[in-house]
Amino acid sequence: MFVLAVGFVVLSLTTSKLFAPSRPTQAKEAPYECGIVPTREPARRFPVRFYLVAMIFIVFDIEIIFLFPWAVVHRELGLFGLWAIVAFIVPFFLSFLWEIAEGGLDWGPRAQRRSLGVLGGSDLAGVSSVRVVGLEGRAPVTVGAAAGASSSREDR
């Protein structure tokens, strides 16, 4: 049966390569995503902090999955079960403390206060919590400079 399956796959691929018309065009070679022609660059990558929070969430879900059976039979397991679950929980707890110490869970105004070195909330009167995304490293463009930049790009 395996030989027949592999033979069918090889025969189908070979036949399609030999007899199918090959007429590549620019439209056929362009990336296609749900019928939308890409008009701008894709969004920037998410910061690693998002993935760290997701991984911590999964790790603690797994920890809870293992804690439920232990909670049901903890009296039968006795002292051995207690030390086993402590040995299981301690690495998770230490990794969580490390994440907090690294600042992986600092979000929003609290992170801004910490980065500014502000201890109280009253000193934040001039700090905006609005963040402009996508303009890092770009110089401000005036109207005259924008017109000149667009014409120079077209000349290239």
CA atoms within 13 A on the CB side of 80: 3
Residue 46 is classified by DSSP as P
| Token couple for 45 | 């990558």
pLDDT tens digits for range 103-139: 777 776 666 666 666 544 444 444 455 555 555 555 5
Q: Looking at domain 46-118, which CATH architecture does it have?
A: Up-down Bundle (1.20)
- Residue 86 pLDDT > 70: yes
Within the chain, how many helices (H) and strands (E) appear? Answer: 5, 0
pLDDT tens digits for range 42-78: 677 767 777 878 888 888 888 889 888 889 998 999 9
Q: For residue 94, what is the enclosing H or E element?
A: helix 48-102
- Residue 28 pLDDT > 80: no
Question: What percent of the chain has pLDDT above 90?
Answer: 19
Domain boundaries, the chain: 46-118
- Residue 4 pLDDT > 90: yes
> Looking at residue 154, what is its pLDDT?
45
> Looking at residue 35, what is its pLDDT?
66
Q: pTM of the full predicted structure?
A: 0.40
